[in-house]
Amino acid sequence: MLSLIAKRLGIGLITVLAVSIIIFLGTKILPGDAAELRLGQSASAENLAVLRERLGLDKPYWQQYLSWLVNFVQGDMGNSLSGDTPISGLIADRYQNTLIVSGLTALIGVPISVALGVMAAMFPGSTYDRVLTFTSVTLVAAPEFFTATLLVLFFVLFLGMGSTIVSGSTDGMGLFELIQHFALPITTLCFVIASQLIRMSRAAVLNVMASPYIEMAILKGIPRRRIILRHALLNAIGPIVNVIALNLAYLITGVIVVEIYFSYQGLATLIVQGVQTRDFVLVQSLGMIFCATYVVIMLIADIAAILANPRQRHPK
Amino acid sequence: MLDQTTTPVLSVKNLKIQATSYPPGEKPKDITIVEDVSFTVQRGKVLGLIGESGAGKSTIGLTSMAFGRGGVRITGGEILVNGRDILKDSQSQLRSLRGQDVTYVSQSAAASFNPSKRLMDQVIEATLRHGILSKNEAKTRAIELFRKLGLPSPETIGDRYPHQVSGGQLQRVMTAMALCPKPSLVVFDEPTTALDVTTQIDVLKAIKEAIRETGVAALYITHDLAVVAQVSDDIMVLRHGKMVEYGATSQIITAPAQAYTQDLVNIRSELHSEKQENGTPILKIENVTARYKSVPINVLKDISVTLEAGHTLAVVGESGSGKSTLARAITGLLPPIAGQISFNDQPLPPAMQDRSKDELRDLQMIFQMADVAMNPRQTVGQIIGRPLTFYFGLRGSARKARIRELLDQIEMGRGFEDRYPAELSGGQKQRVCIARALAAKPKLIICDEVTSALDPLVADGILRLLLDLQAQENVAYLFITHDLATVRAIADKIAVMHKGKIVRYGPKSQVLTPPFDDYTDLLLSSVPEMRLGWLEEVIANAKMQAAGN
């Protein structure tokens, strides 16, 4: 089992390295380099050459790549092209905001959705199941800004609670203050991930419910509730964990619409800004962070699935 | 209160079971699966339910627990368990019936145990849930049952997970699970069908002794009359959901009244007497050793056999003996690491991709699962026609004529060209696979367990067809099987395989005549015989041998 986990770790590392090469080469393919972007169109050839030497852009690509990678691993991501400020400082604040919102969303959304999905699997075809399936299909079809707008309409305009714009410092806030502060984006994101999680955990449990050992449990006179909780759920963990991981990865990297809608400063808006200002040093760093986050989350999911499999836990 | 001593454990009257079928493009309609079936099981007695697949025997077995698999409904009749009509039971009454009064042993132990729970927890679960014994008492009882059923290390086997014990052991653990809550009736649903013969006999023995010692009544469901004759007091023969014959085991075995029962009793006869060697070997395997890349163990060890043109060599062995690997080595799917395979006196290139088209054509294969060996989106005509075009370039009307000819040869006749595999029965599917192999005009056909998935009478028909075709086309068969009755029926020569080696090899008459080596003896003595008292004899012999050692 340990060797299996080590293998997963190795594969994760290779993935990150491969992505780093692609990201590095991707920015090299684009016309213009950091020196040109900084000095502008009218810069003289001498000035460009001096700056290139200072930035190390005159060296061969592989040397540039290696020094970039080593610096990145040490936490030095260089300076932003547009503002000439250290990128690590720029990202730190944003990363914190993103982590708070995604973390809270996961904390609230994942257990509720999985529980709702499992309950739907307990009574397939019941009114509860139908209403839940209908609602989750509707939610999965609704774009995020639409869900957000409905929530704003209902809570802010109708009930007069909270505010549409989520900005300002979050320093020194406790858990409940944070939840209150980010209430609307968190609720919107909960709806987004809930629909998929509910449907997938329902399907995973129902899939297990079709296996012969469940029939055996029924024939042993075990109540349905116990069958689901004690027999089916254990074996459905693998697929459910994978869906949870995919949703967590989305929460870290893909919440652009929600960030912009509620105008709070997260990672997704930062990468949009980086692309708009052609700040490819920033885009490079963010790309690497997204990739590493993705790989780590998937790794945790893989390990969880390995641990949930009795054949791996208890070899012959 | 009913008198517990005279009330039958199970009494079924005029049972009718229906299901709804949904044919595409038509209105759903009710189909009757079981009709007008009545029987009783007395305390401590065993009733055998026998019939081919689709006869409704499992469905009937499950109704004694008021359970219908996949939308099956009990629509008529009466089912009394210990005198109580269980069709009128509430859900909670049914839960206490299941796992307490009536328990179930299924065919596939591997699938019927929850893979992520320890065996002991599953074995005593029903006993605990129904409050029959305390946890410690239940564990003690389970361990005692494990011991009775002859399981190794009965104290600790319960701590293992299902994947950590073998199939035969798992089947016995499941029997312990069924007996643990002290039920009055156990339903055994083909408990030994998925096992090797030598394992089957251990499980049969364990089940029979457990039934005798606990005094439980049982329904024993199987398609194998010889097996059911060993364990049951009465037998009911079923066909297409209706009762064919119902009587004491001795009467059914020795004096069957109905033609269908007579066919079942007479099935294991020799169809074919052995041919003399004619000195024209078609396939010569010399000192072949082979292994799979992933495992550093030789699966085939120094195999040498010869097969002559138009003859049948049967390769017998249990699962894991290497018999299917031998087929892979011959076809070139798994090139051997040592040894040589010659075909028609010419050495065959070890790997399939190095062989010529003619070498490929001369050697065809038929598989166990006819279902998955055919493309479900192709019609029978396309399936048989493909090798005709590929090997002989036949097209249009010539191809059509040849397909008709082949369909006649496999005794299927006209009107099948445009049908899809899903529209055929199991036996018909295997016939189409035979026609596909025959279409290439091969000199040798490798038959890998071709009758194992079929009902006895259907398998019988396939074997007869294969023998007829051999007489017409002078094709040789390499017949891989675990079933000694099949071997007896069709082989000229036999090779017995065990752990990758050939332990006995020669003409049929010689291989099946004593003196035997230990393994062949075990294999032959494990095949259930269609007579009363066979199992007792085997048990007694085993005990005598054990005492002698």
For A183-231, give the DSSP string.
HHHHHHHHHHHHHHHHHHHHHHHHHHHTSHHHHHHHHTT--HHHIIIII
* Structure tokens belonging to residue B107: 């065919």
Identify all chain B residues contacting A213, using CB atoms and an 8 Å cutoff.
111-115
Q: How far is CA B537 from the centre of its chain?
A: 24
Interface contact A316-B163, CB threshold 8 A: yes
Boundaries of domain holding A23: 2-73
* Structure tokens belonging to residue A177: 């203050």
Per-residue burial over A170-188, b if 16 or more Cβ lie within 10 Å, else e, is beeeeeeebbebbbbbbbb
Q: For residues A276 and B437, which has the higher predicted lDDT (pLDDT)?
A: B437
Q: Do both A140 and A285 map to the same domain?
A: yes
Residue range B383-399, pLDDT digits in tens: 999 999 999 998 889 99
* Structure tokens belonging to residue A168: 């300002």
Most A CBs within 10 A among B96, B116, B221, hence the mutation to make, goes to B116
Q: What angle do CA B212, B216, B220 make, to 5 degrees?
A: 85
Q: Provide the pairing of β-strand B73-81 with B444-448.
A: unpaired
Question: Within a domain: residue A79?
Answer: no
Residue range B418-459, pLDDT digits in tens: 888 888 888 889 999 999 999 999 999 999 988 887 888 888
Residue in chain B lying closest to A310 (CA):
B116
Q: What is the CA radius of gyration of chain B?
A: 26
For all residues of chain B together, what is the average pLDDT?
87
Residue range B56-66, pLDDT digits in tens: 888 899 999 98
Q: How far is CA B525 from the centre of its chain?
A: 18
Give the pLDDT confidence score for residue B505 in this predicted structure.
Answer: 92
The residue written with tokens 């190390």 in the block is A56
Whole-complex ipTM: 0.77
| Residues in A lying within 8 Å of B, measured between beta carbons | 211-213, 215-223, 226, 230-231, 234-235, 308-311, 314, 316
CB pairs under 8 A between A and B: 76
Of all residues in chain B, what percent carry a pLDDT higher than 90? 38
Per-residue burial over A76-92, b if 16 or more Cβ lie within 10 Å, else e, is ebbbbbbeeeebeebbe
Q: What is the CA radius of gyration of chain A?
A: 24
Choose the final residue of a domain: A45, A73, A101. A73
Q: In the structure, what pLDDT confidence band is assigned to residue B548 with cuts at 50, 70 and 90? A: low
Q: In the structure, what pLDDT confidence band is assigned to residue B32 with cuts at 50, 70 and 90? A: confident
Is pLDDT of A157 > 70?
A: yes
Question: Within a domain: residue A80?
Answer: no
Interface contact A213-B111, CB threshold 8 A: yes
Mean pLDDT of B329-344: 90
Identify all chain A residues contacting B138, using CB atoms and an 8 Å cutoff.
none
Is pLDDT of B43 > 60?
A: yes
Interface contact A219-B104, CB threshold 8 A: yes
**Which stretches within B292-409 are classed as H helix?**
323-331, 357-362, 380-392, 396-409
Q: What pTM did the predictor assign?
A: 0.78
Is pLDDT of A6 > 80?
A: yes
Give the pLDDT confidence score for residue B271 in this predicted structure.
Answer: 65
Q: How far apart are the first and last CA of chain B?
A: 54
Question: Within a domain: residue A244?
Answer: yes
Q: Do both A65 and A213 map to the same domain?
A: no
Q: Do both A119 and A266 map to the same domain?
A: yes
The domain that holds A212 is classified in CATH as: 1.10.3720.10
Mean pLDDT of B201-209: 85
Of all residues in chain B, what percent carry a pLDDT higher than 70? 97
Instruction: Give the distance from residue A146's alpha carbon to the nearest chain B alpha carbon, in angstroms.
Output: 40
Give the pLDDT confidence score for residue B137 in this predicted structure.
Answer: 94
Q: Do both A55 and A166 map to the same domain?
A: no
Between A3-7, A21-25, A160-164, the lowest mean confidence (pLDDT) is in A160-164
Give the pLDDT confidence score for residue A105 in this predicted structure.
Answer: 92
**Which stretches within chain A are classed as H helix?**
2-29, 34-39, 45-55, 61-73, 87-122, 127-141, 144-151, 175-181, 183-209, 212-219, 224-226, 233-253, 256-261, 267-276, 280-308, 310-313
| A143-157, B170-184, B251-265, B404-418, range with greatest mean pLDDT | B170-184
Kindly state whether B98 is in contact with chain A, defined as any CB-CB distance less than 8 angstroms. Answer: yes
Residue range A73-105, pLDDT digits in tens: 887 777 777 667 788 888 888 888 888 888 899
Kindly state whether B95 is in contact with chain A, defined as any CB-CB distance less than 8 angstroms. Answer: yes
B99 near A219, Cβ under 8 Å?
A: yes
Choose the final residue of a domain: A73, A105, A131. A73
Query: Residue B333's CB: how many other CB atoms inside 10 A?
Result: 12
Q: How far apart are CA A296 and CA A253, in angstroms?
A: 13
Q: Do both A272 and A137 map to the same domain?
A: yes
Q: Do both A133 and A257 map to the same domain?
A: yes
Q: Do both A40 and A120 map to the same domain?
A: no
Give the pLDDT confidence score for residue B24 in this predicted structure.
Answer: 67
Is pLDDT of B296 > 80?
A: no
Q: Counting every residue, how long is chain B? A: 549
Residue range A29-63, pLDDT digits in tens: 877 777 777 777 777 778 888 877 877 777 888 88
Mean pLDDT of A128-157: 88
Question: Within a domain: residue A35?
Answer: yes
Write phi, then psi, for B98 (nearest 5 degrees): -75, 130
Give the pLDDT confidence score for residue B370 in this predicted structure.
Answer: 85
Q: Do both A51 and A188 map to the same domain?
A: no
Question: Within a domain: residue A174?
Answer: yes
Q: In the structure, what pLDDT confidence band is assigned to residue B183 with cuts at 50, 70 and 90? A: very high
Give the pLDDT confidence score for residue B187 in this predicted structure.
Answer: 94
Q: Hey, which residues 435-494 in chain B have their CB within 8 Å of chain A?
A: none
Mean pLDDT of B230-255: 90
Interface contact B115-A223, CB threshold 8 A: no
Domains and CATH numbers, chain B: 10-265 (3.40.50.300), 281-379+424-526 (3.40.50.300)
* Of A147, A181, A187, residue with least CA distance to A162: A181
Identify all chain A residues contacting B104, using CB atoms and an 8 Å cutoff.
216, 219-220
Give the total number of structural domains in chain A: 2
Q: Counting every residue, how long is chain A? A: 316
* Structure tokens belonging to residue B409: 């040869």
Instruction: Give the distance from residue B113's alpha carbon to the nearest chain A alpha carbon, in angstroms.
Output: 5
Q: How far apart are CA A104 and CA A98, in angstroms?
A: 10
Interface contact A235-B100, CB threshold 8 A: no
Mean pLDDT of B233-243: 91
Identify all chain A residues contacting B164, using CB atoms and an 8 Å cutoff.
314, 316
Q: For residues A280 and B12, which has the higher predicted lDDT (pLDDT)?
A: B12
Q: Do both A164 and A269 map to the same domain?
A: yes
Interface contact B116-A316, CB threshold 8 A: no
Choose the final residue of a domain: A12, A39, A73. A73
Question: Within a domain: residue A83?
Answer: no
Q: In the structure, what pLDDT confidence band is assigned to residue B2 with cuts at 50, 70 and 90? A: very low
* Structure tokens belonging to residue B134: 């305390």
The CA–CA distances, whole Å, from A75 to A68, A87, A284, A314, B125 equal 10, 10, 13, 40, 55
